[in-house]
Amino acid sequence: MKFVDEAFIDIAAGDGGNGCVSFRHEKYKEFGGPNGGDGGRGGHVFAVADQSLNTLVDFRFSRRHEAKRGQHGMGSDMFGAAGDDITLRMPVGTIITDAETGEVLYELLQPGQTLMIAKGGDGGFGNMRFKSAINRAPRQKTPGWPGERKSLKLELKVLADVGLLGMPNAGKSTLIAAISNARPKIADYPFTTLHPNLGVVRVGPEQSFVVADVPGLIEGASEGAGLGHQFLRHLQRTRLLLHLVDLAPFDEGVDPVAQAKAIVAELRKYDAELYDKPRWIVLNKLDMVPADERAARVKDFVRRMRWKGPVFEISALTREGCEPLIQAVYQHIHAQQLQEQAPVEVDPRFAGDASAS
CATH number of the domain enclosing 258: 3.40.50.300
Q: Are residues 184 and 129 in the same domain?
A: no
pLDDT of residue 19: 94
Q: Are residues 149 and 228 in the same domain?
A: no
Mean pLDDT of 91-117: 91
Q: Are residues 3 and 142 in the same domain?
A: yes
pLDDT of residue 191: 45
Report the side by side order of strands in the sheet with 240-246: 197-204, 207-213, 162-166, 240-246, 279-284, 311-313
Q: Are residues 291 and 196 in the same domain?
A: yes
Q: Are residues 171 and 302 in the same domain?
A: yes
φ, ψ of residue 324 in degrees (nearest 5):
-60, -35
DSSP category for residue 181: S
Spacing of C-alpha 62 from chain mean position: 19
Rounded-to-integer distance, Cα 306 and Cα 281, Å: 12
Number of domains in the chain: 2
Q: Are residues 262 and 132 in the same domain?
A: no
Question: Does pLDDT of 189 surpass 50?
Answer: no
The parent domain of residue 121 ranges over 1-156
pLDDT of residue 215: 66
pLDDT of residue 66: 95
Q: Are residues 120 and 191 in the same domain?
A: no
Q: Are residues 174 and 226 in the same domain?
A: yes
Mean of per-residue pLDDT scores for the chain: 82
Mean pLDDT of 165-188: 74
Q: Are residues 333 and 190 in the same domain?
A: yes
**Sequence-distant contacts of 258-261: CB under 8 A, at least 24 apart:** 259/167, 260/301, 260/305, 261/305
Average the pLDDT over each of 121-130, 143-152, 167-176, 215-224 and give the range with the smallest value. 215-224
Q: Are residues 131 and 32 in the same domain?
A: yes
pLDDT of residue 227: 45
Residue among 221, 218, 174 at smallest CA distance from 322: 174
Domain of 102, CATH number, reads: 2.70.210.12
Within a domain: 347: no
Last residue in a domain, options 132, 156, 180: 156
Question: Is the distance from CB of 21 to CB of 35 less than 8 angstroms?
Answer: no
pTM of the model: 0.68
| CB atoms closer than 10 angstroms to residue 127 | 25
Q: Are residues 138 and 222 in the same domain?
A: no
